[in-house]
Structure 1
Amino acid sequence: MDSGQVVTPPYVAGPLRLLPFPGLMLAPHRVGDPSTGRAFARPYRGVAARLVRWQTRGLVRRDRDPALYLHEYTAGGMTIRGLVGALDVSRRATRAEDRAVLPHEGIHPAQADDLADRMSEMGLNPAPILLVHSGTPRLRELTGGVLEAAPDHQFTDRSEQQHRIWAIREPAVLADVADELRHTRALIADGHHRYAAYLRLQRREPGGPCDQGLAMLVDQTATPLFLGPIHRSLAGTSLDDVRSAAESLGMRCTTRSQPEAVAALGPSTLAATDGTEWVVVDLAVPPDRAAVELLHRQLVPALPHGPSSIGYHHTVDDALANAHPRSSIAVLMPAPAVDLVQRIAEADRLLPEKATSFQPKPSLGVLIRSLRDEPAAPS
């Protein structure tokens, strides 16, 4: 298989199960510290021992009893709240209606294999993947009841994220939460390759801790993540190429000033520039499609020259820094709506690579799951 090929990861079968696990938590002053990432770096086989040493120094807290965690974090004025647990990945869906977790982007198999190898060597799920869903009124009532108690942990990390964590261990509450999640279909917001790595580990070592993978399930109705665009730069392409491609496809392409082009961005329009001149392309996007799909599946293939490479940028400034009249254009993208992404995933379609940017993400080190000292959950 071509190492650059993008494929659909397998689907986990419902009912969706988010199980208690004994959490590991870094000390608050280590969470959000850029140097913390080095704790999970090579050699990966030494990571677990490294964390044990940190534990003896008081830098890692280890829960003795399993719990489902309610994690609330605030960053940039946005507060996100979700349930963190061990996601059951032991069953595969063979029918579309049986799917419990919905990816919306493809994965590179080699990258997923590498992540699976790393987690196996570390003996850890170092961070939860992010899932979003629309919680039931009863689930919001249950989490609201948890919020009424004082948090088990509360701190501000080195990146200024504020965290509150509640450990849920009451059997009745856990049972009620499990009942409310049974029919949930969760959309992957962040962590497609880690999700695929979970499935690879489960295939390698079924029947044990690898039957689950660490996940955070966010109620997008109650505390929604912000969905932003990821802009593009197309090397080896000019604005004349864009005009030619748009004309061949019957798309409207008009020259605008920079303020007009940026203001014209919308669900069916994108703006492109070579750093000097600007154009707006009306993609005429159908209701069940996203602009990023038409860019990659219609406009880019129709370009008479290039692109020799495509760059991905989370900010407008980064994209514009890659625009040059003789070598590259920047393409500013609109963000797709969350419900559109959900519908696309429900329809068993994948968006192009790096189509979405869900923000903010929690800092590394708040909740970690060990694969070595955790008993397998009952089936």
Structure 2
Amino acid sequence: ELYARDPRNIVRVVLNRTAGDGAYDEAGATFRGWVAAGLLAPDDEPALYLVEQAFEVEGRPHERYGLLARFRVEDDARGRVLPHEHTRQAAKEDRYKLLKATRANFSPIFLMFSDRQGSFQKQAEATARTPPDFQYTDDGGVVHRVWRIRDGAAVSALQSAIGSEKAYIADGHHRWATAQRYHREVGPEAAWTLGYFTPMEAPGLVVLPYHRLLDRGPSIEEAGRALRAHFDLSDVKGAAAAAKKAAQSKAAYAFGLVDPSGAGLVAQARAGAGALLPADAPPSLRALDTFFLHQAVLSRLLNVPEDAVRYAHSMREVEEELKAGKCKLAVIMRPTPVAQIVDVADARASMPAKSTFFHPKLPSDLVVHPLHG
């Protein structure tokens, strides 16, 4: 659909449809053609870009501010840019080939930093009271407003506000690994990459859960019998009710299970359920619902193999899968708190796949960061 909308849509670069490795050559040629035609032009002076995203979650309005800026690429050993997820080789290879063909960043690495004094948030809100340089509303109803900041004093103030000793990768782990590899191979040209920086304390930083869809496994009744020894179980009707009750739970671990008929239950772990986890699991991982689910529940109690697990980030997708009978059970998860993400990153550990969904996603091509010229 995006291909058909406009021949200048960035999807023709970042997700080119040409078969095989020719896609990367075509992406590079397309990007260079747009630059040559003047469709993309460099700023005439250094600038930072403030981005506001206004959106709703379950009917409640939110606003998230972040800053688009380039930052230095460095090895993880420096401990200043901290990831929290495993990366997949196929995805890294795809991003590497695109970077090599275009020599530019189109999608920023999403980073969180500490803004305990609120200085960044105050500056962002003050800027947002002025007219933006441009704005638009995307297909999901998210309103994006962007300000180009060129005033030297304002730039310095924002740089100081995000000058934290550490930044935590929220999203973009494959892009970060790709930037590191390209820097090692190319050298100074690749010393910088594109980032989006937002405060971890901001109320607009919304983390949603990834739910699990089980293609094989027990029935809802069999699952209840398998879980009864370690969990308090409550019957619910439907995925929405399971999500609401699980979110309200104060238990160390809680999740819902729902089958295509709508029959469901919410499991809240009793004290001592953590003993089901491997003894050598680090504390930062032991605290996670997703780690507990995969290490203790799916593999040990329900005998569900990893290749039977799919993922859905929205309740609508879960409900559609259940209604169509495309899964045996849906596992309804709670969101992962930001503090747990930080703990995992500080411990240099890695969460299970699809543990976090930062909403809304960042669009590609709000700004382009060329690695040359």
Are residues 1:280 and 2:266 paired? yes
User: Which AA in structure 2 matches 1:80?
Assistant: R
The separation in 1 between residues aligned to 2:237 and 2:144, in whole angstroms, is 44
Bigger helix share: 2
Q: In 2 relative to 1, CA 100–237 (structure 1 residues): closer, same or farther, beyond 3 Å? A: same
1:1-379 matches, cutoff 5 A: 35-40=9-14, 41=16, 42=18, 43-55=23-35, 59-76=39-56, 77-90=61-74, 92-94=75-77, 99-135=79-115, 136-143=117-124, 146-147=127-128, 150-151=131-132, 153-157=133-137, 159=139, 161-208=142-189, 210-222=190-202, 224-238=204-218, 239-247=220-228, 250-258=230-238, 261-266=242-247, 268-276=253-261, 277-284=263-270, 289-303=287-301, 305-307=303-305, 308-323=307-322, 328-373=328-373
Q: Which residue of 2 aligns with 1:21?
A: none
Normalised to the residue count of structure 2, the TM-score between the two structures is 0.78
User: Which AA in structure 2 matches 1:206?
Assistant: G
Q: In 2 relative to 1, CA 81–327 (structure 1 residues): closer, same or farther, beyond 3 Å? A: closer
Alpha-carbon shift at residue 127 of structure 1 (Å) = 1.1
Alpha-carbon shift at residue 237 of structure 1 (Å) = 0.4
Alpha-carbon shift at residue 262 of structure 1 (Å) = 4.1
CA contact (8 A) 1:69 1:167 kept: yes
CA contact (8 A) 2:12 2:27 kept: no
User: Which AA in structure 1 matches 2:288?
Assistant: A
Of 288-297 and 141-150, deviating more is 141-150
The separation in 1 between residues aligned to 2:365 and 2:171, in whole angstroms, is 16
Q: Deviations over 1:331-378 (max 9, x none)?
A: 1111122222222322333221001111112332211111232xxxxx
Q: In 2 relative to 1, CA 205–223 (structure 1 residues): closer, same or farther, beyond 3 Å? A: farther
The separation in 2 between residues aligned to 1:256 and 1:137, in whole angstroms, is 41
CA root-mean-square deviation: 3.1
The separation in 1 between residues aligned to 2:8 and 2:216, in whole angstroms, is 35
CA contact (8 A) 1:322 1:328 kept: no
Alpha-carbon shift at residue 44 of structure 1 (Å) = 2.0
The separation in 2 between residues aligned to 1:235 and 1:112, in whole angstroms, is 27
Work out the percentage of aligned pairs sharing the same amino acid. Answer: 23
What is the SS of the residue equivalent to 1:60? coil
User: Which AA in structure 2 matches 1:37?
Assistant: V
The separation in 1 between residues aligned to 2:158 and 2:192, in whole angstroms, is 18
CA contact (8 A) 1:113 1:200 kept: no
What is the SS of the residue equivalent to 2:267? strand
The separation in 1 between residues aligned to 2:29 and 2:45, in whole angstroms, is 21
Length, aligned pairs only? 336
Normalised to the residue count of structure 1, the TM-score between the two structures is 0.77
Q: In 2 relative to 1, CA 147–326 (structure 1 residues): closer, same or farther, beyond 3 Å? A: closer
Structure 2 residue ranges without an equivalent (≥5)? 275-282
Q: In 2 relative to 1, CA 245–195 (structure 1 residues): closer, same or farther, beyond 3 Å? A: farther
Q: In 2 relative to 1, CA 265–67 (structure 1 residues): closer, same or farther, beyond 3 Å? A: same
Alpha-carbon shift at residue 244 of structure 1 (Å) = 4.8
Q: In 2 relative to 1, CA 256–361 (structure 1 residues): closer, same or farther, beyond 3 Å? A: closer
